[in-house]
Each structure stands twice: as structure tokens, then as C-alpha cells.
Amino acid sequence: MNILVTGGAGFIGSAVCRHLCGNTEHRVVNVDKLTYAGNLGSLRQIENHPNYCFVRADICDEHAISRILGEHDIDVVMHLAAESHVDRSIDGPAAFVETNIVGTFKLLSAALAHWQNLSAERQENFRFHHVSTDEVFGDLPFDGSLFTEDTAYAPSSPYSASKAASDHLVRAWHETYGLPVVVSNCSNNYGPFHFPEKLIPLIILNALEEKPLPVYGTGANVRDWLFVDDHARALELVATKGRPGESYNVGGRCERSNLSVVETICRMLDSLWPRRGGARYRDLIAFVADRPGHDRRYAIDASKIERDLGWTPAETFETGLAKTVRWYLDNPRWWEPIRSSRYAGQRLGAAEKALS
């Protein structure tokens, strides 16, 4: 099939492109605007692959997207393009409304027109796969409860509200126009090529540079962690095997508090990259004021995708994190230019600003 991946130069999008080119026969068309978080260096290993091409375009440009859908005869849209950093959404929500809501609307409009011009057989096999987040569900108490596909939406931040709105648009296009859509909501991803403003790469790189390791509040907030390559496999299954109109929760069954994540990274670095003088990396931990509307806990029930599509994560949190730490140690040529540019002139996240 011909698969259009939006946001394919981002963290999860690039993992999807690498997976599709490395493990399937599908043809991949990567569309990305190349904002501060888009990095073609994450795609270097497939840039010359015969089944891969990159097109620089903005999903808000409906005319450009329509042209790409037609020229490349697209069978599946995997929509990952999004503004995704909560701290940035608090400081500047307009970009999140524009990309996540308006951009999704423009993409849906282009996809609907493209789908309506396909043959009946191709219409039946076409999919619009919208990739979303568990943050749309709000937060959970510190108990055994889990997010399911039927959990009511209760977003807490401008980011999660914009993603919730885009989820609703996608479902509305299915119910109103018949567009064959599938939706997936994932837990926190981590792994190689993760942009350095997010928690795990930020902690690894701050530690290597002997800088404070910022932790919000007391570090008690809990997240379910999912290795990005496991997520990429799940997304392929949802896009190609998922039932139209259905949603699928994707999680790693790896709940950890933020403080536990940071301490685990510190222990790994103590072994792999010891500090001078024998000091421990955990001594660099610095607790900072909590961010507004910080959800207490996320936890995904992934039973549906495991049962219906046969997906299970291959990595535990410990094995996936070990691979991630090792990758950052081995690949400074990827992250050093990003760090030295201070995120291409963009503002720092709240946690880093608190330490500035």
C-alpha cells in the first residue's frame, strides 16, 4: 500500500517510517513541516530507501495535502503531525490549536475528497489513522484503575484539549461522511531520537553535562511508558488491520513515577558513564515547582489491541530504557546540535526555566 505519514520527521513519526521501510513492503510518503522538533537526521538510515520519499509540507495547507494524496495515490493516512509538549502548550496554546485542531480538520477535508474519488474496493480498504494520546482522558487516582477505549474525555492542558478536539473531529468525519477512520491513544513514548525537551532525554543529557536534573513537585506523578519501536509496530497494525470507527489504546504496562524514572537513569549512568570523583548522578536531582494542571497518573489498558490485533510490547521498561541510554551515549552527533542551538531558539520548558 501507499502510506502517507504526517509528522514523519518527529520522534514517533520517524520511528514509524523506519519500521515501515525496514519491515514491510509498503511505500512510505513522509510529510512534515519541519518545525523545531522535526529532524531529518532521524531518517538518515532510510533516506535512500526505494520505498520512501519525503515531502516538506504543512498539514494546514489543504491544497498541498490534496495534491500529495493524489500524486502518490495514497491508500492509508497515518496522522502523527502534532504539537505535543505540554509545557509549550501552557506558554503558547495558539500553535496547538492551529496544528492539532485546524491542521487535523484540513487533513480530514483533503482525505475525504481523495477517498470519495477512489473505486469502491479501494474506498473499503482505505484508512485514516489518527494517532492520539492518553492525556485526553485526564488523570487517574493512585489506584488500580486504567484508561480504556470507553473512558470519558477530561483533558487538563491546552495540549490534551487540542488533541481531544482533533479526536472528536476524526470520529465525526466517520459518523457524518463515512470516512473509514481508526484512532489510537498511546501512553508516554521513549527511545532513540527523542527530542531533548522531553523528560527521559532531558535527564540523560543534563546528567552527561553535569547539569541539574529537574523533577516537578515531588516526582510522584505516574506515567505508563512505551518503547517507541513497540508503538510503531502497534500503529502499523491499527492502520492496516484496525476496524473502521474503532479506537485502540496502546500502552506498555510499565507504570513508573517520574522520580523513579529519573533515579533509574541515574543508576544506569553510574554504571555506564561514571561521574568524575565517584559522585552519583542522583545528587544532581533538583525538585522544581509543579506545572499547572499536572495530571497525577496515566495508565493504559491495552487489552483490546492485544486481543483483537495480536500486539504486545517486546520491551520491558528496563530493557527499553537501557537501549535508550546507550543510544544517547553513542550518538552525540544527533543531539549535540540540538542542545547547542537551545532548541532552535524556542523557549525552554517550565522545568528548565525554573532552574535558569
Using one digit for the tens of pLDDT, what is the confidence trace for 140-157?
Answer: 999 999 999 999 999 999
Give me the pLDDT at residue 348, please: 47
Q: Which of the 8 DSSP states describes residue 147?
A: B
Half-sphere exposure of 14 (CA within 13 A, CB side): 21
Cell numbers found for residue 331: 550518538
Give me the pLDDT at residue 341, please: 77
Please list, residue by residue across 242-261, b when 16 or more beta carbons sit within 10 angstroms of its beta carbon and e when fewer do.
beeebbbbbbbbbbbbbbeb
> Which domains are present in the chain?
2-194+228-252+294-317 (3.40.50.720)
Q: Is the pLDDT of residue 32 over 90?
A: yes
Please give the mean pLDDT across all residues of the chain.
95
Q: Is the pLDDT of residue 127 over 90?
A: yes
Give me the pLDDT at residue 99, please: 98
Give me the pLDDT at residue 351, please: 59
For the entire predicted model, the pTM comes to: 0.95
Is 135 assigned a catalytic role? yes
Q: Is the pLDDT of residue 244 over 70?
A: yes
**pLDDT average, residue stretch 245-265:** 98
Choosing from 134, 230, 236, 315, the catalytic residue is: 134
**pLDDT average, residue stretch 289-301:** 94
Is 47 assigned a catalytic role? no
- Report residue 252: phi and psi, to 5°: -95, -5
Choosing from 52, 159, 190, 216, the catalytic residue is: 159
Cell numbers found for residue 155: 483533558
